[in-house]
Amino acid sequence: MVSRVTTVAFQGIDALPVDVQVQVGPGMVAFTIVGLPDKAVGESRERVRAALHASGLALPAKRVTVNLAPADLPKEGSHYDLPIALGVMAAIGAIPADMLGAYAVLGELGLDGRLAPVAGVLPAAMGANTIGKGLICPAACGAEAAWADADMDILAPV
């Protein structure tokens, strides 16, 4: 099964939609991120693994592949942590996959599973609003996201 979560990539002041596709399947145990990730995105695998463990979940002893599409758009920053983690959780059945379709997601994870604020929440909220989605972001960024549209659905958990 492939789970999908929407996030954004920043290009100047624009927030372009990115489809985070997560597949958990047979093969050698691995956690691979593809789709032009920079160093911070590549390091997401360790933050995600630690945060899931801190939340009482464990990655299955399977091959986890994360594709950040479109593949030709460079992906930079730690805000991919939360969408990757939610995609993994949906792929292993820990959360219902259909819950995520109405939202764009961004947020950095701490090793203890806490969400850290990220830069670019206002453009991300504007981009999500443009494609008809709400936004899931860290609590510290919720007020900034609300500037995009007063009627937009924003979830800002701790």
User: Per-domain residue ranges for the chain?
Assistant: 2-120
What's domain 2-120's architecture?
Answer: 2-Layer Sandwich (3.30)
CA dist 17 → 43, 107, 158 (Å): 21, 15, 24
Report d(CA 16, CA 48) in Å as an integer: 23
Residues 96-139 have pLDDT tens digits of 999 999 999 999 999 999 999 999 999 999 999 999 999 999 99
Q: What is the mean pLDDT of residues 133-147?
A: 97
SS3 58: coil
